[in-house]
């Protein structure tokens, strides 16, 4: 590899032992992938705070013991629980104690206690073309695709290494030539009104991921007035049904003003028609159409934006969650504080909605609640839920979720593309 003087100084330990360890790991990664050089990144999204065993925690604590500090702005991804309401969520004290260690280690390194899987809605917004090192599948997919920043899909520990060094191997989606589309997905048979339903963006994302896998796709035919929350849902679901780290929406996203721009003046390697029938078939795979009952409705995967919380409150229209149901809504701390100031937080609580921050609905203690049926408006949650809970969830729009919670039984409206 062509290492700069700064790279060599990091490897020599001139900037501390923690930075030396991080740089040695990143350099070996680069060499194994025949990367020519390292590049600087301007921010990091840290997913190593998601607890999956003691190894990641102890690595972070080791970096702290060595005096390590993040040298670029670093946001923290969601953890397993709401760090203030963990008892209400029925988490064990032992797991909470581990999370306090995680919090101490990562904030000691210099991370901002954002605790969100949607940092782009919490003040951490890179610029177009900015080189960054983000982890978490929906977050990387969103900033690559919707904003046009440059990041690989970084895994845990590598994000810590990037944070203490500010350097990463120049490869993959950091490189412009690797960002061109390969597969063209053409929408056919849809009506303008179909795109007014927020659920269609989850379903289009699910189909997109199914078709492209880990390739880069460009979808053609979406209206130009898509709301940003719809694009977020497309991003999260496509990164769950497929290994998508970047997608293009022709006429919408910054690297796809035209089809030629998306494909960098090359022809698509594959062209696939996406029809309402294809959406219906995919929805049958993603959603449980015959649940015995529903006793949990959960929304906020990824974390709800302020606009989505406004839509949630509007959908309840003063009604309350049925006594047989739980309704959980997950958002970030910044949005919660904003809602506390403008009265939305208490208004939703009066409707029976339990609002959580920090954690993720997928890490909920399902076994301690004895839920028999779950409903969500998240394509990502619906894709992953069974592996976490053993329950295949029902997918529905935000309005479907609210109507189900109020009635105490499943309600699913007929979609215009059905």
Distance CA 312, CA 396 (A): 13
- Which strand ranges, in their side-by-side order, compose the sheet holding 133-134? 74-76, 44-46, 133-134
Outline where DSSP puts E strands in 229-361: 247-249, 270-274, 296-304, 326-331, 354-356
DSSP H or E run through 276: helix 276-286
Residue 12 forms beta bridges with which residues?
A: none
Alpha-carbon gap, residue 267 to 261, rounded angstroms: 11
Dihedral angle sign, alpha carbons of residues 49, 55, 58, 60: negative
Give me 276's structure tokens.
């309402």
pLDDT of residue 134: 98
Looking at residue 404, its pLDDT comes to 97
Domains contained in the chain, CATH given: 5-176 (3.30.499.10), 180-284 (no CATH), 288-407 (3.30.499.10)
Q: What whole-number distance in Å separates Cα of residue 247 and Cα of residue 331? A: 25
Note whether 135 and 45 are within 8 A (CB).
Answer: yes
DSSP 320: -
* Strand pairing category for 270-274 and 183-187: parallel
Contact status, residue 171 vs residue 33, Cβ threshold 8 Å? yes
Q: Which long-range contacts (CB under 8 A, 24 or more apart) does 39-42 make?
A: 39/131, 39/167, 39/168, 39/169, 39/170, 39/174, 40/131, 40/166, 40/167, 41/72, 41/131, 41/132, 41/133, 41/151, 41/162, 41/166, 41/167, 41/168, 42/72, 42/73, 42/126, 42/130, 42/131, 42/132
Low-confidence ranges of the chain (pLDDT < 70): none
pLDDT at 77: 98
Q: Estimate the share of the chain in helix, then strand, then coil, as percent rounded to the nearest 5.
A: 45, 15, 40
**For helices 306-316 and 333-342, what crossing angle results, to 10°?**
50
Q: Which run of H or E residues covers position 133?
A: strand 133-134
Q: Tell me the pTM.
A: 0.96
């Amino acid at each position: 590899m062509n290492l700069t003087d700064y790279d060599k100084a990091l490897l020599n330990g001139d900037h501390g032992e923690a930075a030396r360890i991080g740089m040695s790991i990143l350099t070996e990664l680069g060499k194994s992938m025949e990367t020519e050089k390292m590049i600087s990144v301007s921010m990091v999204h840290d997913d190593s705070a998601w607890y999956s065993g003691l190894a990641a925690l102890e690595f972070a604590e080791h970096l702290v013991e060595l005096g390590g500090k993040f040298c670029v702005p670093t946001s923290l991804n969601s953890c397993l629980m709401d760090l203030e309401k963990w008892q209400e969520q029925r988490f064990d004290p032992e797991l909470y104690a581990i999370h306090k260690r995680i919090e101490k280690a990562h904030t000691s390194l210099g991370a901002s206690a954002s605790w969100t899987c949607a940092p782009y809605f919490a003040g951490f917004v890179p610029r177009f073309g900015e080189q960054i090192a983000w982890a978490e599948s929906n977050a990387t997919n969103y900033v690559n695709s919707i904003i046009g920043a440059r990041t690989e899909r970084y895994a845990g520990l590598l994000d810590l290494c990037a944070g203490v060094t500010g350097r990463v191997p120049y490869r993959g989606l950091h490189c412009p030539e690797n960002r061109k589309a390969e597969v063209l997905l053409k929408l056919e048979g849809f009506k303008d009104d179909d795109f007014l339903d927020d659920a269609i963006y989850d379903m289009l994302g699910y189909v997109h991921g199914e078709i492209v896998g880990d390739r880069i796709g460009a979808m053609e035919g979406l209206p130009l007035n898509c709301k940003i929350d719809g694009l977020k849902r497309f991003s999260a679901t496509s990164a769950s049904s497929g290994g998508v780290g970047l997608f293009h929406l022709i006429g919408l996203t910054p690297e796809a003003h035209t089809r030629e721009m998306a494909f960098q003046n090359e022809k698509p390697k594959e062209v696939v028609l996406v029809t309402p029938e294809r959406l219906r078939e995919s929805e049958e795979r993603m959603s449980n159409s015959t649940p015995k009952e529903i006793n949990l409705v959960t929304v906020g995967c990824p974390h709800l934006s302020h606009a989505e919380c406004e839509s949630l409150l509007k959908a309840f229209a003063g009604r309350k969650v049925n006594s047989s149901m739980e309704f959980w809504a997950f958002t970030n701390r910044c949005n919660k504080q904003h809602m506390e100031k403008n009265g939305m937080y208490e208004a939703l609580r009066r409707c029976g909605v339990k609002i959580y921050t920090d954690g993720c609905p997928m890490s909920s203690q399902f076994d301690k609640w004895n839920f028999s049926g779950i409903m969500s408006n998240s394509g990502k949650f619906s894709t992953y839920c069974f592996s976490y809970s053993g329950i295949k969830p029902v997918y529905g729009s935000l309005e479907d979720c609210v109507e189900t919670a109020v009635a105490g039984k499943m309600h699913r409206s007929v979609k215009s593309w059905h």
